[in-house]
A and B are shown apart, each in its own frame.
Chain A
Amino acid sequence: MGHAHESNTKKIWIVLIILTVITGVEVWLGILKPDSLHLSNFLGTSWLNWIFIILTLVKAYFIAWSFMHLEGEKTLFRRAIVWTPIFLICFLVTLLLTEGGYIYDTLGPLVKW
């Protein structure tokens, strides 16, 4: 192995606690749905949704960095496998969500309720 590995069981348990707490907060907010966050609007969606998305990215960070041990990989390798998909995903999501919004704007008014 390219990197020296020291046992870090303590850190693993800390990450488990962090992930559990974040999931707990997400579910708690998801059940409560406070109106101030839920009915607000910021950049196309509610603040509540932004909180969910940000917390999800934090969880993803911990899983990839700690569990998948990306922190121990060589910097260039890490950048190659992290930033390539992030760039592609941002690109795709931007295009598709814009397109989805456009379809709604165009077809939505034609639907009779």
Chain B
Amino acid sequence: MKSNSAVSSNKKETWSGGGVKPFGASYGKMMMWFFIVSDALTFSGFLAAYGLTRFKFIDSWPIADEVFTHVPFVHGEYPMIYVAIMTFILIVSSVTMVLAVDAGHKMQKNKVAWYMFATIIFGIIFVGSQAWEWNTFIKGSYGAVKTTEGKILQFVNEDGKQIALADFVTTERLDGREQHTKKNGLWFVEEPTIATYSIDQIITSYNEHPEVQVRTELITDQKKKTILSREEGSAQLAKTKLVVEGANLEVNEYGNTIFADFFFFITGFHGFHVITGILINIIIFFNVIIGTYEKRGHYEMVEKVGLYWHFVDLVWVFVFTFFYLV
């Protein structure tokens, strides 16, 4: 009978492909690796598309350390500091994950549980930070205007430092424009949020403040954004069609809209992976606590979910480089 059966009838072996281990890797582990390879290719596709778009707009792409400059609970500008902290948190969560796997090899149930717990907490902190980063980006920091040619114009002071609309727009809003709301009887009309300032207001204030200059998206040889003279600025401002505050999928005060699109898409897809990872980690964590793997005799499941978690970290290393550094 034994010679006829290709697959072991031992029920315990059903999930491990009959206990066959090509290349010394179990069925589950090998499939996790294959999944990671395919997921890596997906992320590469996105990042490569980002690269193509960036090369396409190489002379006007937003400069990352002018975009991501905020740190929670702290005022002022600290480019990249927060994202560096986020990267560190994710690396630490990877380390606690390896320690959990390591403890699993030694069958130390309590240690595995505690390290898994730490990994989950760090993961949640990372996703929270990512949400904060999104929120800051969506709200925006300075405000800008968009011309009929689709170009973004920002404002700088005499030192060439970017200033917010609120810093120099002091005149009254004269167009009498207010947000349409139900309480104003406009229950049948919907409109997206209107900007704090009208176009006329900004142009009048610009004329009243000789120290304010207009900055375009064009990058100079010194890898800085071009600052226009007062007259050129005035000519560009005359073409204004929209006041932009913050960033979304349609407009972006920091520059190219597609920069915001890629930012939301790629960090969003990565964040989705982190959330999935946290959920799987939580499931495995409870399995560890109720002793599932103790009964099974090995902690390979922790190893497999660990592979996924490290992969999420691995992807972040690349996202960090190509969005924030390069």
Contacts and interface: CB of A to CB of B under 8 A. Distances in A.
Interface in A1-39: 1-3, 5, 7-9, 12-13, 15-16, 19-20, 23-24, 26-27, 30-31, 38-39
B84 A9 contact: no
A12 B98 contact: yes
Interface residues of A, number: 57
A53 B41 CA distance: 18
Q: Is the interface of A mostly helix, strand, loop or mixed?
A: helix
A14 B54 CA distance: 36
Contacts of A108: 58-59
Interface in B85-144: 87-88, 91-92, 94-95, 97-99, 101-102, 105-106
Contacts of B204: none
Nearest to A35: B222
Given A31-B80, A104-B58, A52 B24 contact: no
A42 interface: no
Interface in B11-41: 21-26, 30, 33-34, 36-37, 40-41
B102 A49 contact: no
Contact of B317 (A24, A39, A59): A59
B37 A81 contact: yes
Contacts of A68: 306-307, 310-311, 314
Interface in B43-92: 44-45, 48-49, 51-59, 65, 79-81, 84, 87-88, 91-92
Given A74-B24, A112-B149, A19 B91 contact: yes
B24 A77 contact: yes
Contacts of B311: 68
Q: Pick from A49, A88, A108, A113 the residue with the most CB of B within 10 Å.
A: A113
Given A2-B25, A74-B24, A100-B54, A92 B44 contact: yes
A100 B48 CA distance: 10
Interface string A57-80: 001100110111100011011000
B37 A52 contact: no
A23 B91 contact: yes
B49 A96 contact: yes
Given A31-B80, A97-B51, A3 B24 contact: yes
Contact of A9 (B33, B102, B318): B102
A27 B45 contact: no
Given A7-B106, A49-B326, A104-B58, A74 B25 contact: yes
Nearest to B321: A56
Contacts of B326: 45, 49, 52-53
Contact of B94 (A45, A52, A67, A100): A67
Interface in A77-113: 77, 81, 84-85, 88-89, 92-93, 96-97, 99-101, 103-104, 107-108, 112-113
Contact of B55 (A2, A3, A92, A101): A101
B253 interface: no
Contacts of B106: 7
Nearest to B36: A81
Contacts of A89: 40-41, 44, 48
A71 to B, nearest CB: 13
Given A7-B102, A85-B41, 16 more contacts: A2-B23, A12-B102, A23-B84, A23-B91, A30-B65, A30-B79, A30-B325, A31-B65, A39-B223, A63-B94, A63-B314, A67-B306, A77-B22, A88-B41, A93-B51, A113-B151
Interface of A: 1-3, 5, 7-9, 12-13, 15-16, 19-20, 23-24, 26-27, 30-31, 38-39, 45, 49, 52-53, 55-56, 59-60, 63-64, 66-69, 73-74, 76-77, 81, 84-85, 88-89, 92-93, 96-97, 99-101, 103-104, 107-108, 112-113
